[in-house]
Structure 1
Amino acid sequence: MNSLSAPQPVPLAQAHRLLNHGPTVLVSSAHGKRRNIMAASWSMPLDFDPPKVAVVLDKATLTRELVDASGEFVLAVPCRAIAEQTLAAGSLSGRDGDKFAALEFETFPASRVAAPLPAGCIAWLECRVIDEPQVQHTYDLFLGEVLAAWADPAEFSDGRWHFSAEGRRSIHYVAGGQFFSTGEAFEVSVTG
């Protein structure tokens, strides 16, 4: 695995915090012998207990086909160190061959879903689709219940992001191959 540290479990009550800062995500999917990975910028946490997420998956993508067939997916949070692979995952079609292999994404098995977890990321959410056919068909919006959540403990622990190194910060896609990475953390309190 390309991560600096082995992933550690994240309590499901904190799973929403893995996406709460709005990063670009990688969506991993699998059904039968087929698998795919794509980048997505439109995802977000929805609920705490049970934790739920939303992600937009266009009808034309192989990822959508595999998620429709399997009823599950993984949202992974890539970091600056793998920004080039992330952009390629969002630019190439999985119908042309295995993008994991083409982009040299190492993987490790998920604990609750068939879709693999892409190595080099800093967080992973294993999700089961909450079937909402009207929403899926009309808006390409998929809701998922988070079944398991994982994070690199050097970057996320005690319910907070720490970002130990510049290359390990989450990334946010703007357009045209441009990203920005999460900046310095700071804390404020409400007075009075």
Structure 2
Amino acid sequence: MATHQAVEGLRRALESGKPVRIIRDIDGADRLDAYVVGLGRKWVLLHTISAGFHLDGHSVVRLRDVEHATRSNWKAARVAHRALRLREERPRTPPGIDLDTTTGLIDTLTRAFPLVSVYTEKIDPDVCYIGRAHGVTKQKNLRLQEISPRAVWGYDCCKYRTTDITRFDVGDGYIDALHAVGGNPPDL
């Protein structure tokens, strides 16, 4: 469960427009350097910063998993912010993303982006699944038509329990490259 301090750190980052380092209480999960661009009841929307100080897609993480969201944990925060400003890269909030419910989040991400990366980091922090979401079943399973790292589409859907999902990524360079090479998925 996110601490009050973590939620306040996220709120301050959203209001200030300054980048923060997000640390989550999931063993082996990536730290995320980002701008907070949306905060809901269940999820927080981040515009992520690459190691080369460029904006690179959005991540959405479960609010309850956030342990820390501060600039003090990231010594390069000021440099990143200045570099992005000098390059005229500004954090953006994709319109209409539902951060209050998981099903709403999946629906709105699917409408806004052609592909989504799905992480189940509490099960395996080193794996993500990329593809086109085809909704959530009555049993609360995400149906995902996956694309392989070679940009080859599957012809059926894999299912992931929504309660196991800890993070979504959209619109980053890798995901966009897979979509450019693989195109849209074949009809199911």
User: TM-score, normalising length from structure 2?
Assistant: 0.29
Q: Larger % of strand: which?
A: 1
User: TM-score, normalising length from structure 1?
Assistant: 0.28
Q: Which structure exhibits the higher relative contact order, with contacts defined as CA atoms closer than 8 Å and separated by 6 or more residues?
A: 1
